[in-house]
Every structure is written in structure tokens, then in C-alpha cells.
Amino acid sequence: MDREEFWHILKTEFGYQSPPRTCFLAKNFPGWATVVFYAKTLKLVAANSVIARLGSFDRQQWANSSVAAIKILESVGGRLHVSGLKEVIEHKGPLVYIANHMSMLDTFLLPCLTLAFNDVTFVVKKGLLRYPVFGPIMRAIHPIAVTRDSPREDLKKVLSKGQNVISKDSSIVIFPQSTRNAVFDLASFNSLGVKLAQRTGVPVVPVALKTDFQGNGRIIRDLGYINPKKTIYVKFGAPL
């Protein structure tokens, strides 16, 4: 399955569901899925980091790498279920996607799910741009970087740069939680996404993510246990 095939499925079926598959090793050897998932993911990130450093990491490559991430999770027994895209597809123009943030996997999956309809960028922590391998990729997507040290300054930056992004017919993905959370905690959400949508006059699309297939690591947060028994769910709401 390549990018175009995946996008065709999204646009005709208004979602995606991983084909039935039994992974003997993942089922019978705990820990195998974790080792293989991270080995393949690190290889994918390293390859795309080189592409980004060469200045060739564009919209198509970003989507390609996101689809590749889906193939990786499916190769270790993971299952992805995407739904709710009918009204998103029917909308013409940019959107502000507001999603909960459960794991690192969120940022790997959402690009190919949103780039299918128009250009997109993310609001991210500024520190991610300085990561030695992941940083070049993040810089290549021209994100809106916030510090989270000053909510007022972050709001000003998101509103200012967000207006510029949306004026170019590009959508924006925002995770309005201060950190990843293994449970859906509405109290931890800030209002950045809603205020940006109000300022620019574009609809908000709520996105519910259940990506605890990848846990958060105790020592290295980005390297948690992989549990293939947990289905990954991405549910898009109607534009509001």
C-alpha cells in the first residue's frame, strides 16, 4: 500500500481499517514487537532526517513516511481503525484539527490522514526542533513552535503564525494538552486551537486518538512498550 492507495481508501471509505492479520511472533514472544517496532521506526526516522537535511522533505515525502509508519505498526501485529472522515472530506478549505495527545505515535499517524485533503502543519514544542535526528524533519514541515513557558506569548505566536498558515489554504494540527496523557483528560486541554479557529474563521475538527498501542517509557518517554493487543483508534468529528 503506497500513499495514493491509502488516500484513495480514506476518500472512498471515509476511513481505514487494517486488514486481518495474525503475527505469530508478536502473539507468542512478549517484547518482540517492541524491539522490531523501534528498530524499523528509528531506521525510518534516520532516513527521513537525511532527506530533510538535503532539503527534499516535502509534503509527499512526509505523507510517504507516515504511511510507512502504519506499515511498521501493522508488521508487528498492530491494527489501525480510522473513522469519521465523510464530513471532513466534504469540507473545502483549511481546518484546525484539535486532538488529544496520548503517545509519540500520534505525530506519526496524523500527517498521512490530514495531508490527504490539503497541506497541513503542526503546533509543536520548540525543543523538538533541536532534536539531533528528529529535529531536521520537524523543521522541514515549518511548524508553529511554542515554548509552553508563557501561555500568553504562545497564544500570540499561534494566532499570528496560524493566520499566515491558514491564509495559504493550509490546515493546522494542535495538541492542546501540556503533555501526553494516557487517559482522556479534558481538564488538561488549553484553548489555543479554539481561539485560532475563532480568529481565522475556519472550522474546528475534533480528533479523538487512542494510541496506547505505544506506551510512554519510564526512562526515555518516546520509547515505551509496544502492545499489539491494543487497537489504535483515530476518530474524526464533524467540522464545527
pLDDT (tens digit, 0 to 9) for every residue of the chain, 240 residues total? 899 999 999 999 999 999 988 777 777 777 899 999 999 999 999 999 999 999 999 999 999 999 999 999 999 999 999 999 999 999 999 999 999 988 889 999 999 999 999 999 999 988 889 888 999 999 999 999 998 778 888 888 999 999 999 999 999 999 987 666 666 666 556 678 889 999 999 999 999 999 999 987 777 777 889 999 999 999 999 999
* pTM of the full structure: 0.91
pLDDT at 220: 76
Taking alpha carbons only, the member of 43, 41, 47 closest to residue 69 is 41
Domain 3-236 has CATH 3.40.1130: yes
Domain boundaries, the chain: 3-236
Determine contact, residues 3/63, Cβ cutoff 8 Å. yes
Give the three-state DSSP class for 133: coil
Nearest-angstrom CA–CA distance, 186 and 173: 17
- Do the beta carbons of residue 135 and residue 48 sit within 8 Å? no
User: What CA–CA distance (Å, rounded) separates 240 from 236?
Assistant: 11
Tally Cβ neighbours within 10 Å of residue 39: 11
